[in-house]
Structure 1
C-alpha cells in the first residue's frame, strides 16, 4: 500500500477539516495520472469488498464437500434443511443468532451506526456537517433496505421480482385448502402468503439474508474505515471528480487536532463487533441456506445500494455535496 502523503484538506475555524464540497478547487488536492475511475473503490476498499463474494463461495463449497450437508435433504420451499435433518445448529432457522440477530438485523445495524456516530470525534462537535451527511448516508441505505424487503409503494421489490419471475402463493396446509389455491395467487407478499399457511413457490427469490447482512455490515465498514485508516496511519486515496471536471485524489490524513482520539474505544468496537457477527452469519447462510443464484442476486442487490451511496457521489459533485464522504 502506498505511503505517499497527499495534501491535507483545509481546516475550518473549529479545528476540524473543512467539508469537501463540489466547489473546492482542484489545486487543494493532488492531481493524479492514475486512470482509475472515481466510481471504483480504492485498493483497501476493494480488498474489503472482495471478502463478501469470497465468503459466499467458501460457504457454498463447504455445503458441497461437507458429508453432513450432502447427506441432509434440502427443501426448496423453505430454502433450508428441514429442522430434523439439519447438519448443524446454524443450519436451523430457529438458532438463536438467526432469531435474535439476523431477523432484526437492521436494528443492530442502526444501533452500531448510532454508537459510532455519537462517539467518533472525527464527526466534529455537535450537529456538524459531517454528522448530518453521515445520517443522510445511513437514511439512504435504510431506504434501499426498506424498498427491497419491506415496502415499495405496495409489496417490496424482492416480492415483486418473485412474482415477475413466475412465482405465486400456493396453499399447502391440507388437501381441502389446495382446492382454493387459485385464490391465493392474490397474495402479493411472502409474509401474507405464509400467514395463511401457503408456500411461496415458483419464482426467483433473492436471498434476503445475504442482502441484509452484506448491506448492513458494508455500511458499517465503509463508515468506520476512515477512522481506522487515520488511527493506523494508512493512506489509501479516493479519487473524486470536482465541479470543474478535474479529477483529484483525497486521502485520510493524520489530523493534529485528533492526536489523542481513541476511536477503537468509542463507537468503533461496537460497529466492528456487529459487522463481524454479520460476516459469520453470512458464512452460515452461504453454507446452509439458499441456492447459488439466490445468494448471488442478494449480493448484487446489496452492492448496488452501497455503490450508489458510497461510490457514485465521488464522481457526481452535486450528490457528494449532499451525502459527503466518510472521513472527509
Structure 2
C-alpha cells in the first residue's frame, strides 16, 4: 500500500520570506501559512472531528425521542429521585441500574478508558520506539482529561463539581430534613456528597443533577477517538485540516507526521487500536441506553456540555495557544 512522503518544511509566507516555526512544532508537520480567505480558527474542529463530535448530541437526542415515543418506556414509571425504573416494570434490561454492562462497565468506565489507552499507547508503533516525546505528550493529555474527570465526579477540594452544582441549585440529602438523624450526623461529612447521603440510606433531592454517566461516556470515548484517529486514517480532513497558531501570529495547517520506520501501513490498525475502538463502541451503546432510559433532557445536556469543556481545553485550545501546545502537543504530531 502506498504511503505519503513526509512533508517538507516549505514555510514561505506571502511576501516570500520564511516563516519561523515555534519550538513546540516539528518543521515536517507544518504546511504553508494560510491566507486570510481560507483560514479557519485554530480553536475549531476539522470537518471530520465535527462529524465525530456530532455523534454525541445526536445520540442523546435519539435516545430521548425513543424514550418519549416508546409505549414500553411511557408505560414504565421512572423515578427522578432514584434516577431509575422499577426493576419489575423496567421497559428493557438496559433500563435496570443493575444490568451487567452498567455495573461492570459504565460504573468502572474510567478503568476501561485507562486500560484501552494504555494498550494503545504501548502497541502503537506510530508513536516511535521507547519513551518518545509523542508518547509523553499522549500521557500528559490523558492526565489532563483524567484530572477533569476527577474534578467533576470524584473530588474538588472536597465534594466534586457534580455534587457542588447539585447543592448550589437547591438540592440536599433528604435526611437533613429529619431532626433526629441530623443530631447524629458527622460534622465533618455533613452529608455534602451524594455518596455520603446514599451511605446512610438517604436520597439526593431538590437540585439539578448533571448526568455523570453521560459525562463519563462522552469524555472517555472522545479521548480514545482523538488519540487513535491519527493511527486509523490519513484522510485530508484529519491529515491537513487542523490549524495551529504559530508564535509569530500566523495560522498554518498541520499534518499527521509519519515516522520513517516502524509505522504500520496507511490505514492499518494494530490490536491496541482495535481494542480502543471496541471500548469506544460499547461506550457509545451505553450512552444511547442512558439517553433512552435515564436522566432528564437537561441533565443529559449538562453532562454533554461539561464533557465538551474538558475536551476543548485539552484537544483544541493547544492549537491556538503555542505555550499550551508545547506541553500537551497534538495527537499524531
TM-score by length of 2: 0.87
The residue that corresponds to 2:301 in the other structure is 296
The residue that corresponds to 1:190 in the other structure is 194
Q: Deviations over 1:280-320 (max 9, x none)?
A: 00000000000000000000000000110000000000000
Q: Deviations over 1:158-193 (max 9, x none)?
A: 101100000000039xxxx94536566931100000
Residues 211-220 or 244-253, more deviating:
244-253
Q: 1:233 to 1:284 in 2, by over 3 A?
A: closer
Q: 1:229 to 1:79 in 2, by over 3 A?
A: same
| Structure 1 position 36, deviation (Å) | 1.3
- Please state if 1:110 is matched with 2:114: yes
Q: Secondary structure at the match of 1:267?
A: helix
- Please state if 1:29 is matched with 2:31: yes
The residue that corresponds to 1:306 in the other structure is 311
The residue that corresponds to 2:286 in the other structure is 281
Partner Cα separation in structure 1 for residue 76 and residue 322 of structure 2:
53
1:250-261 to 2 correspondence within 5 Å?
250-252=254-256, 256-258=260-262, 260-261=264-265
Contact 2:29 2:254 survives alignment (8 Å): no
Contact 1:230 1:253 survives alignment (8 Å): no
- Please state if 1:249 is matched with 2:253: yes
| Structure 1 position 252, deviation (Å) | 2.3
Contact 1:206 1:298 survives alignment (8 Å): yes
1:54-73 to 2 correspondence within 5 Å?
54-73=58-77
The residue that corresponds to 2:12 in the other structure is none
Partner Cα separation in structure 2 for residue 319 and residue 233 of structure 1:
23
Partner Cα separation in structure 1 for residue 51 and residue 290 of structure 2:
21
Q: 1:260 to 1:209 in 2, by over 3 A?
A: closer
Equivalent residue for 2:320, pick from 311, 315, 318: 315
Q: 1:161 to 1:269 in 2, by over 3 A?
A: same
- Kindly tell me the number of residue pairs found equivalent between the two proteins: 312
TM-score by length of 1: 0.88
Equivalent residue for 1:327, pick from 318, 324, 332: 332
Contact 2:126 2:231 survives alignment (8 Å): yes
- Please state if 1:98 is matched with 2:94: no
RMSD: 2.6
Q: Which runs of 5+ in 1 are unaligned?
A: 11-18
1:68-217 to 2 correspondence within 5 Å?
68-171=72-175, 178-180=178-180, 186-217=190-221
Residues 222-231 or 151-160, more deviating:
222-231
**Moved runs in structure 1, 4+ residues, more than 6 A?**
231-234
| Structure 1 position 32, deviation (Å) | 2.0
Partner Cα separation in structure 2 for residue 254 and residue 323 of structure 1:
19
